[in-house]
């Protein structure tokens, strides 16, 4: 399947790190964003993982993010870079993504960290998640920065996400 569209719901929102020709606020249905993936390569280290977001299937849920249109002739190099960036547990998955004002979804590539990957941490009490985020850092920076930047981008783009907002409020209170 050719790749022309990439859906970002985490750090790709503020740091796509690839060339794109269009960017749209967008959403997927049947998925929710959760801080359930361990990061031992970006926002944590082996033995002390940070927590980053993944998509989790949930009927009737809506997850907002950014949809990037890339030039088809650059797709292979962009996907090689993203495969490396998302190497610690994420796999490519195609999902339907919606853009405001367009009735039909676009078949879109995204990266999802399923529960069967070795870095998957799964659900935990919000206080435990925030404690782990507050204490973690890795080569890409602090885990706190990841949560704060995500929350800031949501505010900037009018995106509501109860999970991220709750964690941000616990972190900053």
Q: Which residues are part of the catalytic machinery?
A: 86
Cα separations in angstroms, 129 against 8, 79, 93, 103, 163 = 22, 30, 26, 37, 11
Judge whether 36 and 120 are in contact, CB under 8 Å.
Answer: yes
Q: Which tokens hold the place of 99? A: 């853009």
Cα separation, 80 vs 74, whole angstroms = 10
Angle in degrees, CA 118, 3, 12, rounded to 5: 55
């Amino acid at each position: 399947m050719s790749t022309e569209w990439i859906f970002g719901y985490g750090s790709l929102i503020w740091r796509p790190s690839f060339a794109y020709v269009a960017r749209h606020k967008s959403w997927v249905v049947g998925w929710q964003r959760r801080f359930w993936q361990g990061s031992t390569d970006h926002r944590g280290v082996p033995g002390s993982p940070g927590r980053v977001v993944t998509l989790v299937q949930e009927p009737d849920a809506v997850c907002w993010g950014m949809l990037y249109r890339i030039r088809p002739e650059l797709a292979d190099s962009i996907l090689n870079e993203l495969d490396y960036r998302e190497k610690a547990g994420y796999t490519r998955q195609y999902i339907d993504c919606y853009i405001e004002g367009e009735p039909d979804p676009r078949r879109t590539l995204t990266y999802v960290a399923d529960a069967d990957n070795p870095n998957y941490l799964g659900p935990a009490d919000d206080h435990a998640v925030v404690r782990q985020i507050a204490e973690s850092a890795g080569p890409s920076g602090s885990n706190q920065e990841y949560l704060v930047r995500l929350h800031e981008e949501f505010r900037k783009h009018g995106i509501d996400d109860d999970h991220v907002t709750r964690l941000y409020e616990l972190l900053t209170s």
